[in-house]
Amino acid sequence: MSISGTFRLSVFCFFFISLFSENLFCLDESSGELSKSEANKEEAILHFKKGVEFYKAKDYAPALAEFLKSFELQPNWAVRFNIGICYMETGKILEALDEFQKYLEEGKERVPANRRKEVEEYIKKIESKIGYIKVESNEDGAIVSLDEFHEYKTPLSEPIPVVAGVYSIIAKKDGFIPFKKEITVATGETVTLNILLKPVQEE
């Protein structure tokens, strides 16, 4: 899912401008010095600029780190687009999906029509590569791990999005025998995982 050079530059020019467009800082008039909020904004802009330069050099991992730091210092809905693009370029499509969805949700009517269409296309492409795991359990408060990397706690209100593939599932809760199962998830498929935890028998 690479982005063309011309489009890439237009993307970052647009969102760099948008970073300045909102009232994100204030002056401490009593001292005449930068307030903490404005100081954060200045640092956020520096990280944003570094992110743009790294991205233009096709160095996507450090670009992602810089955009994430910029967002941490000064949360701005528009920067989520940049973060999402970098996640795509580094192969982290689930994280990209999450950022693009939040970008549309938080930006609402402020998202230009052409940009909304582009983001919706990215979401559509990502969704064509993933499936979902719907977790059902007889016990609330159980910790469910996928391949020992991602953890969730029951009950889960929404299915878990995953890249199509085979997953080792382990569910644990104090006082219960661990539940283990391997499942295969195909693209566009929602697999229901029924977790039945049995109490440990006291001797």
C-alpha distance from residue 182 to each of 94, 168, 195, 197 (Å):
21, 4, 12, 16
pLDDT value at 80 more than 80:
yes
pLDDT value at 195 more than 90:
yes
79 lies in the same domain as 169:
no
pLDDT value at 63 more than 80:
yes
Supply the CATH number for residue 80's domain.
1.25.40.10
98 lies in the same domain as 59:
yes
User: How far apart, in whole angstroms, are the C-alpha atoms of residue 80 and residue 67?
Assistant: 8
Q: Is 109 helix (H, G, I), strand (E, B) or coil?
A: helix
pLDDT-derived band of residue 6, with 50, 70 and 90 as boundaries? very low
33 lies in the same domain as 81:
yes
71 lies in the same domain as 122:
yes
Read off the pLDDT of residues 137-191 as tens digits, 9 standing for 90 and up.
Answer: 999 999 999 987 889 999 999 999 999 999 999 999 999 999 999 999 999 999 9
Pull the structure tokens for residue 96. Answer: 């990209």
What's the number of domains the chain is made of? Answer: 2
Q: Which amino acid is at 85?
A: I
- What pLDDT, on a 0 to 100 scale, did the predictor assign at position 36? 55
11 lies in the same domain as 36:
yes
3-state secondary structure 158-202: CCEEEECEEEEEEEECCCEECEEEEEEECCCCEEEEEECCEECCC
50 lies in the same domain as 121:
yes
Last residue of a domain, one of 95, 127, 159: 127
pLDDT-derived band of residue 19, with 50, 70 and 90 as boundaries? very low
Supply the CATH number for residue 146's domain.
2.60.40.1120
User: How far apart, in whole angstroms, are the C-alpha atoms of residue 67 and residue 73?
Assistant: 10
Strand 27-28 relative to strand 33-34, pairing: antiparallel
pLDDT value at 27 more than 90:
no
52 lies in the same domain as 74:
yes
- Report the mean per-residue pLDDT for the chain: 84
Read off the pLDDT of residues 83-136 as tens digits, 9 standing for 90 and up.
Answer: 999 999 999 999 999 999 999 999 999 999 999 999 999 999 999 999 999 999
Last residue of a domain, one of 102, 127, 152: 127
Closest CA to 19 of 66, 88, 58: 66
- Neighbouring CB atoms inside 10 A of 36's CB total 10
22 lies in the same domain as 102:
yes
- Neighbouring CB atoms inside 10 A of 90's CB total 14
Read off the pLDDT of residues 94-105 as tens digits, 9 standing for 90 and up.
Answer: 999 999 999 999
Q: Which domain range does residue 60 map to?
A: 5-127
User: How far apart, in whole angstroms, are the C-alpha atoms of residue 189 and residue 11?
Assistant: 33
- What pLDDT, on a 0 to 100 scale, did the predictor assign at position 33? 45
49 lies in the same domain as 113:
yes
- What pLDDT, on a 0 to 100 scale, did the predictor assign at position 34? 40
Strand 160-163 relative to strand 130-137, pairing: antiparallel
186 lies in the same domain as 109:
no
123 lies in the same domain as 137:
no
47 lies in the same domain as 147:
no
Q: What whole-number percentage of the chain has pLDDT above 90?
A: 69
